[in-house]
Structure 1
Amino acid sequence: MKPSGNVKQETSKEFDFTARDFERVRALIYQKAGIALAESKQEMVYSRLARRLRATGISSFAAYLDGLEAGRDADEWEAFTNALTTNLTSFFREAHHFPILAEHLKSRTGQLDLWCSASSTGEEPYSMAMTACEVFNTLTPPVRIVATDIDTNVLNTAANGVYTADRLDKMSPERARRFFQRGKGEQEGMVRVRQELRQLVTFKKLNLLAADWALKGPFDAIFCRNVMIYFDKPTQGKILTRFAPLMKPDGLLFAGHSENFLYVSDAFRLRGKTVYELDTEPGEKGRSALRHA
């Protein structure tokens, strides 16, 4: 950790937070959620978990972590996980993916099923829903979206579909008018996703490390963007292996701009622009094809 240059500031923290405490946090969040915390995250961890110590009235990190390890409070495990989950998102983030999704939906018939596997506060699955509405030119397209996240706080925000109006600043006025209702009176400055759009999305808690995902599939597309960066390579590989049987043979997997699955799993091959499809040549031959894609 880079020193702040102010020793007094470092020693006047409300709670002692030792290197051993930090390593325990890293081990616990990896065990619980597969998140591999970098050593540079020590200050972030202190800041977020100090709030939990205040909320629970526990006076030390050691005692707080002892309680987690003893499994005395399942709700606190959830709060611990929520505190360490990063939820940066926006509507139509990584915008190049949505025209690809639109073309994919246009080419298909019947009921279409999509999965957003790290939905955060809902902007991503609602962007998927808006894309579907534009493709079919209706607020009731033949599309079902399952949106999951490990963080229950953000899932509640997502299900409500209420945001500050500035979240729409980069959205076209036409889109904003079609898909959102603006608040009045006490709700001035807020917007809400239209009910028809909210009905296209089902929000569920899901831990990508859980043994049972309780998802049926198969899906026409899976969005798993900007979440794999928090997992180590073996964990990424396990998750990708589990994605494969949940996808239709010609389904698409959308990844984040900084994520590369080519050397992680031979289940998928790169189609382009961080979009993947199932590899029809498994094994060493498939891996060779991936490396030359």
Structure 2
Amino acid sequence: MRRAGIVSRALAKASADAGTGAAEPSWVDGHDRLGARDFQRLAAFIHDYSGIKVPPSKSTMIEGRLRKRVRALGMRSLDEYCKYLFNDQGLAAEEVHLIDVVTTNKTEFFREPEHFRILTDSVLPQIAAERRISVRSPVKVWSAAASTGAEAYTIAMVLAEQQRRTPELSGVVYATDICTEVLGTAQGGIFPVEMVTPVPPEMRTRYVMRAKDRSSRLVRMVPELRAMVQFGRLNLMDASYAMERDLDIVFCRNVLIYFDKPTQLAVLRRLCDHLRPGGWLFLGHSETLSGFDLPVRPAGTAVYRRS
């Protein structure tokens, strides 16, 4: 329902603006540019839909990315594309594609490695000890901004290593992202060989497959690892999340930096709602909960534990 409300507001605003007359597109170095009004409308929609702030300094980047959609739709200019979105009621059909092309998807295996040391040395052994004396259930981990899957597969590797030490322990990784394009890549589990360089050699041997054609520069995660990860689309701006509420661990790293403070707080409260008591929340090293009233306490560098 919230998505429909955002689209309706955007369309209503477009209708109100339509009577003012559209400015002719400006052309610089052979490329059309977004007019100020169209940029403002796009930035407002992107913020409402995804929480991502798009300041005017990002206009050139947004223009470059939107030209992909202009070409894909067989249109002639950004001006024509914006007319389709805001004057011809194309926004509802285009919203997922629009968000796909404007979102930034930076990801690495074992990014911020201290977190995976904490996961290996502290968090998973504690959970394993708990599972030995209580009802056994899988360790449930959520990678809440999975991008192309490097974080989710890194978590799966660490879980698999813990299972080698504690065979009765099993695990599942829920990996979500707002961008459908990167989720398609993630589900395949195929990456450039250079991308797995940060993976420790013994883990690469166990969990990463090289192509039979040794000239190929691609690798793939082994089937057992891919089976541990479940991918799905989820927008952190939604009022509620279709996610289990007894998760052991939530990774939401280097995402909050794109949100304003009220949006950060709203997202964090929803994330905490899905953590079991005693569950762990991992944020990016540049992110902080300072000034927020949340039911968690510090448990490491950018690591928090639900009270």
User: Considering the TM-score relative to the shorter chain, is it more than 0.5?
Assistant: yes
The reply to whether residue 60 of structure 1 matches residue 88 of structure 2 is: no
Contact 2:139-2:171 at 8 Å conserved across structures: yes
From 55, 69, 79, the counterpart of 2:97: 79
- Provide the rounded CA distance (Å) in 2 between the counterparts of 1:187 and 1:219: 42
What residue is the counterpart of 2:218 in the other structure? 190
- Aligned residue pair count: 270
Residues 113 and 71 of structure 1, relative CA distance in 2, 3 Å threshold: farther
Please give the secondary structure, in 2, of the residue aligned with 1:243: helix
Deviation at 1:207, TM superposition (A): 0.5
Deviation at 1:83, TM superposition (A): 0.6
Please give the secondary structure, in 1, of the residue aligned with 2:289: coil
Superposed CA offset, 1:248-288 (max 9, x none): 1101110001111222343333222001122x4xxxxxxxx
What residue is the counterpart of 2:188 in the other structure? 160
The reply to whether residue 180 of structure 1 matches residue 208 of structure 2 is: yes
- Provide the rounded CA distance (Å) in 1 between the counterparts of 2:55 and 2:300: 29
What residue is the counterpart of 1:121 in the other structure? 148
Deviates more, 1:263-272 or 1:148-157: 263-272
Aligned residue type for 2:78: F
- Where in structure 1 are there 5+ consecutive unaligned residues? 1-9, 281-293
**TM-score using structure 2 length:** 0.82
Superposed CA offset, 1:51-75 (max 9, x none): 2112212233343234334543645
Deviation at 1:43, TM superposition (A): 1.2
Matches within 5 A, 1:3-152: 11-69=28-86, 71-72=89-90, 74-102=92-120, 103-108=122-127, 109=131, 110=136, 111-137=138-164, 141-152=169-180
Superposed CA offset, 1:147-168 (max 9, x none): 0000011001111000111112
Matches within 5 A, 1:279-290: 280=307
- Provide the rounded CA distance (Å) in 2 between the counterparts of 1:140 and 1:228: 35
Please give the secondary structure, in 2, of the residue aligned with 1:15: strand
What residue is the counterpart of 1:271 in the other structure? 299
- Provide the rounded CA distance (Å) in 1 between the counterparts of 2:160 and 2:225: 8
Deviates more, 1:182-191 or 1:44-53: 182-191
What residue is the counterpart of 1:239 in the other structure? 267
- Provide the rounded CA distance (Å) in 1 between the counterparts of 2:246 and 2:215: 40
Please give the secondary structure, in 1, of the residue aligned with 2:297: strand
**TM-score using structure 1 length:** 0.86
Contact 2:108-2:195 at 8 Å conserved across structures: yes
CA-based RMSD of the aligned residues comes to 2.0
Please give the secondary structure, in 1, of the residue aligned with 2:31: coil
Residues 155 and 39 of structure 1, relative CA distance in 2, 3 Å threshold: same
Percent pairwise identity: 37
- Provide the rounded CA distance (Å) in 1 between the counterparts of 2:72 and 2:168: 43
- Where in structure 2 are there 5+ consecutive unaligned residues? 1-26
The reply to whether residue 214 of structure 1 matches residue 242 of structure 2 is: yes
